[in-house]
């Protein structure tokens, strides 16, 4: 497998100029695209339509090039919210499996999966956990990885809107449904990777028992889909990729040390000095304190705490690596310890 990663700056959610240039100059074959992660400049909440706008724009461009079926197989993960210094961009992942020659080396491998659509009453429940866990296992198998080789699992998951509420829904609050969906999806990752055991997990633990979490899960909820789209990233012993991935876990929003540990992890796996992109989760610490000091992110009725957390963590990462074009997603329920979150780094040789 040969995996390539292309971070592309965007002037807006519908700006495909960077992608079009790569394709028209022959540097990227659109038939090899398997996943596109984006940071769009909406509010990252329920009514952030920049996510769906970005996906629709990409699909409309790619369908004439690669066909409907191939376009539907691509994992599109758009994370809304570029607060603070975060710079809007997309990261395109390609995978080539045939016609490869030359020696192999340790390098990046990936697998993807699309789950079935979820009924409204399944979102945020144990059923969702189990379906996601099976999807993650399938993506790991498609990547040819073992669980210990996995460094990052990105999932786009659905939410509950007012028009889609049902009797058995876990909540009637659309915004809260984002947290339940993210949390259940993250627990599915933890279950698939053996980070938690089935006997440890009860329905009432979802978005309640934060001692249960994954160290590599990153989940993002949106109104633009009804299933889960899963991207698994890890390192294979025999790869044709020039990239490697590593990860760490931020213990809190200001944990710059975790950034350095994630970089060292990627470089230690065989990656070079060039950072391709950084992917992190952000959350306002539910205790209301950061490093022993009170914060007010959870008490502000004007601005969502997920937006504030993205701005803080985005600034910490950008300042550390001197690049604001990084992927930071808000809301880290069961994704790392409370107040923290997983962080992954892709580095490239040469």
Mean pLDDT along residues 203-214: 97
| Tokens encoding 347 | 């580095």
pLDDT at position 167 over 80: no
pLDDT given at position 350: 76
Phi-psi group of 344: left, alpha or beta (phi > 0 → left; psi -120 to 50 → alpha; rest → beta):
beta
Cβ atoms 245, 233 nearer than 8 A: yes
pLDDT tens per residue, range 55-104: 999 999 999 999 999 999 999 999 999 999 999 999 999 999 999 999 99
Active-site residue, 348 included: no
Active-site residue, 220 included: yes
pLDDT at position 266 over 80: yes
Q: CA 248, CA 258: separation in Å to the nearest integer?
A: 6
For residue 335, give the 3-state DSSP assignment: strand
C-alpha closest to that of 332 among 189, 147, 196: 189
C-alpha closest to that of 78 among 220, 282, 217: 220
Among residues 2, 156, 281, 348, the one annotated as catalytic is 156
Number of H helices, E strands in the chain: 7, 14
Q: CA 51, CA 156: separation in Å to the nearest integer?
A: 11
Among residues 220, 239, 304, 332, the one annotated as catalytic is 220
DSSP 8-state secondary structure symbol assigned to residue 214: B
Q: CA 70, CA 54: separation in Å to the nearest integer?
A: 18
pLDDT at position 51 over 90: yes
Q: Which residues of 126-157 are buried (b: 16+ CB within 10 A; e: fewer)?
A: bebbbbbbebbbbbbebbbbeeebbbbbbbbb
pLDDT given at position 315: 98
Question: Using 50, 70 and 90 to split pLDDT, how confident is the model at 271?
Answer: confident
pLDDT given at position 178: 95
For residue 349, give the 3-state DSSP assignment: coil
Percent of the chain with pLDDT over 70: 100
Domains identified in the chain and CATH numbers: 2-348 (3.30.1330.180)
What angle in degrees, to the nearest 10, is found between the helix axes of 174-192 and 126-143? Answer: 50
| Tokens encoding 298 | 């959870």
Strand 150-158, strand 217-222: pairing? parallel
Question: Using 50, 70 and 90 to split pLDDT, how confident is the model at 312?
Answer: very high
Count of CB atoms situated within 10 Å of the CB of 198: 10
């Amino acid at each position: 497998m040969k995996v390539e990663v292309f971070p592309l700056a965007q002037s807006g959610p519908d700006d495909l100029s960077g992608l079009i240039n790569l394709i028209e100059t022959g540097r990227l074959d659109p038939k090899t695209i398997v996943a596109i992660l984006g940071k769009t400049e909406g509010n990252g909440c329920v009514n952030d339509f920049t996510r769906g706008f970005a996906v629709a724009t990409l699909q409309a461009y790619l369908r004439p090039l690669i066909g409907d079926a191939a376009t539907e197989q691509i994992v599109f993960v758009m994370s809304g919210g570029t607060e603070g210094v975060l710079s809007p961009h997309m990261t395109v992942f390609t995978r080539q499996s045939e016609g490869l020659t030359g020696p192999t080396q340790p390098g990046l491998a990936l697998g993807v999966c699309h789950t079935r659509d979820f009924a409204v009453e399944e979102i945020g429940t144990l059923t969702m956990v189990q379906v996601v866990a099976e999807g993650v296992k399938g993506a790991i198998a498609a990547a040819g990885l073992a669980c210990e080789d996995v460094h990052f699992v990105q999932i786009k998951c659905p939410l509950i809107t007012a028009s889609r509420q049902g009797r058995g829904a876990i909540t009637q609050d659309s915004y809260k449904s984002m947290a339940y969906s993210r949390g259940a999806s993250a627990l599915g990752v933890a279950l698939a990777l053996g980070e938690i055991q089935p006997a440890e997990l009860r329905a009432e633990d979802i978005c309640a028992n934060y001692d249960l979490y994954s160290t590599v899960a990153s989940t993002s909820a949106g109104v633009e889909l009804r299933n889960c789209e899963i991207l698994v990233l890890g390192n294979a012993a025999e790869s044709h990729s020039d990239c490697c991935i590593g990860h760490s876990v931020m213990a809190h929003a200001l944990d710059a040390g975790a950034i350095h540990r994630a970089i060292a992890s990627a470089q230690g796996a065989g990656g070079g000095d060039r950072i391709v992109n950084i992917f992190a989760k952000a959350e306002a610490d539910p205790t209301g304190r950061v490093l022993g000091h009170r914060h007010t992110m959870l008490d502000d009725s004007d601005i969502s705490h997920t937006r504030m957390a993205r701005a803080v963590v985005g600034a910490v990462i950008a300042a550390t690596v001197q690049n604001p074009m990084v992927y930071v997603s808000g809301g880290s329920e069961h994704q790392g310890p409370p107040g923290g979150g997983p962080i992954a780094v892709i580095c490239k040789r040469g």
